[in-house]
Amino acid sequence: METMIAYCGIICSKCPVYLATQADDDQARAEVAKLWSKQYGMKIKPEDANCDGCLQTNGRLFSHCRVCGIRACAMEKKVSTCAVCADYACEQLKDFHSIAPHAGRMLEKLRAKS
């Protein structure tokens, strides 16, 4: 499987929602919905746990991806990831990376390569 990196630095191809979707695994969807509901303090239903990666424009998207400000901004600016954005690292991205530091580390790796 090819590595897919979201605008924010999440490795989509390692995301449990993405993996459950690609495997069409309802049990995995239910497990990640339960875990993330508890972890992030929000109600996520198993049917919300479908995603083909946030880089897609007309595929299945995790419920949050549809309203993600980082995704919307990156798409508007037509950047491949936030790592190449002239406004890196904006406050919105810093806030997200405070709860998902692994995504921030990925963007830093991408910036070091460019």
Residue 39 has pLDDT above 70, yes or no: yes
Cβ atoms within 10 Å, residue 79: 16
Distances (CA, A) of 41 to 37, 45, 66, 108: 5, 13, 19, 28
Across the strands, what pairs with 31? none
Q: Domain residue spans in the chain?
A: 12-113
Residue 42 has pLDDT above 70, yes or no: yes
**pLDDT of res. 30:** 97
Residue pLDDT, tens place only, 65-113? 889 999 999 999 999 999 999 999 899 999 999 989 999 999 999 999 8
Which residues contact residue 99 at a Cβ distance below 8 angstroms, ignoring those fewer than 6 apart? none
Average model confidence (pLDDT) across the chain = 92
| pLDDT interval class at 1 (50, 70, 90) | low
